[in-house]
Amino acid sequence: MLDKIKKFFSPDKPKIDLTLADLKKGFILDYFMESWEVKSHGEYSYDGGSYASEFLIDCGNKKHFLYVEEDDMLADVTLSISVPMNAIDTSLRSIIQKTDEAPDSFEFEGETYYFVECSSGLYKDYGQKQEEAVEFVMYDFKNKTEDKIVSIVRWSETDFEASKGYTVKKVEFSNILPI
């Protein structure tokens, strides 16, 4: 009986109130009455000293990127999907390649998106066997109400990725379970 009581107070006891900051590959979480599995986990380390985690989450018929900025309040949480660069603006890639700067704004899916910031740093994908992090430059744009975002990530001179997404609240996620 005493052993069972000791196990209850053991430091090895699993954490039960998991948050988005605790996510790892294989975890399960609920979002709007659907269960999602974390398929991959990566981390952005920005030159200014801040960090953000990105998780590929999958509910079977949909895949999204869950971006969680690592600060005290987890204020920046977005869900996004990949989109082709040319679907946003056919001249966007060449503008960035020629000038190393993003345009002030562009039209996409009936809305105007405005340049917010350019960030650079290192990205580490925890699922890759490669030990080294990869350099990146990220250009973020938001719509007028700042609830939608378009991000352009430049991995090299010619390698770009784009995503579109929207702001979510951390309280919209529940039932976070470890592997």
Model pLDDT for residues 71-121, shown as the tens digit of each residue: 655 568 999 999 999 999 999 999 999 999 999 999 999 999 999 999 999
Reduced 3-state DSSP string for 75-107: CCEEEEEEECHHHHCCCHHHHHHHHCCCCCEEE
Global pTM reads: 0.86
Q: What's the token pair of residue 162?
A: 């784009």
What are the residue ranges spanned by the domains of the chain? 2-177
Average pLDDT, the chain: 89
Instruction: Please tell me the least confidently modeled range out of 1-15, 77-91, 94-108, 138-152.
Output: 1-15
Beta bridge partners of 169: none
Q: What is the pLDDT of residue 128?
A: 75
Share of the chain above pLDDT 90, in %: 74
Query: What sign for the dihedral angle of Cα 65, 70, 72, 75?
Result: negative
Is residue 70 predicted with pLDDT exceeding 90?
A: no
Q: How confident is the model at residue 15 (pLDDT cuts 50, 70, 90)?
A: low
